[in-house]
């Protein structure tokens, strides 16, 4: 597969390049960046020295498509909608890593406060929840927070057992992107945890979309994110209040059945940790039932740059081209 990447200078683009370098069926043919035009990719992504001899180019969508079988758009929100139509018109497959196509158009416009210039439907690319990605030419890759949250609660939502769910997610600083911000500035972040957008984070819309697709009667979904002094990873604590009493075997069976044959989901005994998934495409899930209560605490752990972004995009690509979804991704996490 010949690969094009539009917007390759950020963390997501760098992670795509890292993972694709080990993919046996993929060859990166074009990487674009207007600001880095003419510079070596490995000068920006220094971990890729001696891995790639590519130059950042400023190419039109038509030019990228002419070199590619599939194109990843790793660009800011509002930018993908400007290039996706031309890519699809050229007959290439597209995976968009921005938020432009994750939501229904009216929900997107309300959530992101911008007019959508290319309304179209796209399959939401969590493969564990949307096996239909295999038949698609265009995929909207999910947000990092919604990936961890949705996977944590999906089995109980699908069973119609959730009365209310409260998500508390903690993300590494890389989730803020490569451009420095007050959140990612070292003096503000070191030895600190910052909660932000306590009730209004844009990713809540994706979580609501996915869980209500599984259970249309689920009305109470809350989400609060935090940034922690870590580079990678998202640990999500889902406080799930259920409609009836469940024991440990009940919940284990629900999760085992739902995630049967899903290679990147690991159901574990105990509490998932970021160190066990960092650098990998795995999602670790564990739970505990509160005694004499209707609350089940479900924990999920993912790497926000891999399963929460670039790894999941490649997982989708594999399915779109009829490959095993683990191709090029079946690697362990980085040991502590």
Same domain membership, residue 53 and residue 21: yes
Same domain membership, residue 165 and residue 294: yes
pLDDT of residue 187: 83
Same domain membership, residue 149 and residue 60: no
pLDDT tens, 74-113? 999 999 999 999 999 999 999 999 999 999 999 999 999 9
pLDDT tens, 250-292? 999 999 999 999 999 999 999 999 999 999 999 999 999 999 9
pLDDT of residue 177: 64
- Looking at the structure of the chain, the number of domains it has is 2
| Dihedral-angle region of residue 89 (phi above 0 means left; psi in -120 to 50 means alpha; beta otherwise) | alpha
Q: Between β-strands 194-195 and 27-32, what pairing exists: parallel, antiparallel or unpaired?
A: unpaired
192 vs 177: CA distance, rounded Å: 18
105 vs 264: CA distance, rounded Å: 30
Q: Determine the structural domain holding residue 75 and report its residue range.
A: 2-121
pLDDT of residue 336: 72
Contacts with 235 (C-beta within 8 Å, 6 or more apart), sequence order: 148, 169, 170, 272, 273, 274, 299, 300, 301
Q: Provide mean pLDDT across the span 134-162.
A: 98
Radius of gyration of the chain (CA): 19
Residue 24 lies in a domain: yes
- Phi then psi dihedrals of residue 273, to 5 deg: -130, 145
Residue 85 CB coordination number (10 Å): 14
Same domain membership, residue 296 and residue 176: yes
Task: Indicate whether 178 pLDDT > 70.
Answer: no
pTM of the model: 0.96
Same domain membership, residue 149 and residue 106: no
5 vs 50: CA distance, rounded Å: 19
pLDDT of residue 190: 86
pLDDT of residue 186: 79
43 vs 36: CA distance, rounded Å: 10
Residue 38 CB coordination number (10 Å): 9
162 vs 336: CA distance, rounded Å: 35
pLDDT tens, 111-120? 999 999 999 9
144 is annotated as an active-site residue: yes
Burial of 303 (0-12, 13-18, 19+ CB in 10 A): buried
Q: Provide mean pLDDT across the span 12-27.
A: 98
**Active-site annotation holder among 36, 144, 221, 235:** 144
Residue 331 lies in a domain: no
Residue 173 pLDDT class (50, 70, 90 cuts): confident
pLDDT of residue 181: 75
Same domain membership, residue 82 and residue 200: no
Same domain membership, residue 192 and residue 55: no
Q: Of 324, 328, 232, 319, whose CA–CA distance to 19 is shortest?
A: 328
């Amino acid at each position: 597969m010949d690969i094009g990447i539009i917007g390759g200078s950020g963390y997501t683009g760098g992670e795509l390049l890292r993972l694709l370098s080990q993919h046996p069926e993929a060859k990166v043919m074009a990487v674009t960046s207007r600001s880095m035009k003419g510079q070596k990719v490995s000068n920006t992504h220094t971990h890729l020295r001696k891995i790639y001899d590519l130059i950042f180019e400023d190419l039109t969508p038509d030019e990228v498509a002419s070199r590619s079988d599939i194109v990843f758009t790793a660009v800011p929100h509002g930018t993908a909608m400007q290039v996706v139509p031309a890519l699809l018109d050229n007959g290439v497959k597209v995976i968009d890593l921005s938020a432009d196509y994750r939501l229904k158009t009216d929900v997107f416009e309300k959530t992101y406060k911008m007019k959508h210039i290319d309304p179209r439907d796209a399959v939401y690319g969590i493969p564990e929840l949307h096996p239909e990605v295999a038949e698609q030419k265009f995929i909207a890759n999910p947000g990092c927070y919604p990936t961890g949250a949705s996977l944590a609660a999906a089995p109980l939502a699908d069973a119609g057992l959730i009365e209310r769910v409260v998500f508390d997610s903690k993300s590494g600083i890389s989730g803020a992107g490569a451009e420095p911000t007050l959140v990612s500035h070292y003096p503000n972040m070191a030895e600190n945890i910052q909660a932000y957008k306590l009730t209004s984070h844009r990713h809540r819309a994706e979580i609501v979309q996915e869980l209500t697709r599984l259970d249309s009667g689920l009305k109470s979904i809350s989400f609060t994110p935090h940034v922690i002094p870590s580079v990678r990873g998202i640990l999500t604590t889902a406080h799930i209040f259920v409609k009836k009493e469940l024991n440990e075997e009940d919940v284990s069976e629900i999760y085992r059945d739902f995630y049967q044959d899903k290679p990147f989901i690991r159901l574990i005994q105990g509490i998932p940790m970021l160190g066990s998934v960092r650098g990998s495409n795995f999602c670790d899930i564990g739970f505990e039932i509160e005694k004499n209560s209707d609350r089940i605490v479900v924990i999920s752990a993912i790497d926000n740059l891999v399963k929460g972004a670039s790894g999941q995009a490649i997982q989708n690509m594999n399915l779109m081209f009829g490959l095993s979804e683990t191709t090029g991704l079946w690697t362990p996490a980085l040991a502590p």
